[in-house]
Amino acid sequence: MYHNILVPISFDAERDSSASLKLAQLLATPEAEVTLLHVVEHIPDYAISYMPAEYLSEARKAIQSELDAMAVRVPNAKGLVIEGHSGRTILDWAEVNKPDLIIMASHRPGMQDLLLGSTATHVVRHAKCAVHVVR
């Protein structure tokens, strides 16, 4: 059983977070803290100039609202939105907050993953705690 669980959440169409949330509930102690973390990738300055001024703040609010709705279904869970590169930012958050388990959803790997890597692969290779990948 785990006391501090990190569940990175991706809203990509091919990723289903429900299995990760169910697994977090199964593996958590009754008093465990569960963090649902979404990393918003940094938008380059040249691209952001074409977006409405309120786009980023509205997008963050919408994502936080989705995370909060998910967190209600998991005891002692909270949603958190941060900005950065997905793999590196998940590992940085884990370094500071010391989860004893990371539960990640992953898509089926293809050739592009052999050449470019993926967020789940990066976290599995570099995390200092247990990582459970759910497909």
The domains located in the chain, with CATH, are 2-134 (3.40.50.620)
- In the chain (135 residues long), the average pLDDT of successive 10-residue segments reads 97 83 97 97 86 90 97 96 96 98 81 61 95 91
Secondary structure element (H or E) that encloses residue 20, with its range: helix 18-27
pLDDT at residue 45, rounded to an integer: 84
Q: Is the pTM of this model over 0.85?
A: yes
pLDDT at residue 108, rounded to an integer: 63
d(CA 20, CA 85): 21
pLDDT at residue 115, rounded to an integer: 42
Three-class DSSP labels, 47-90: HHCCCCCCHHHHHHHHHHHHHHHHHCCCCCEEEEEEECCHHHHH
d(CA 82, CA 87): 12
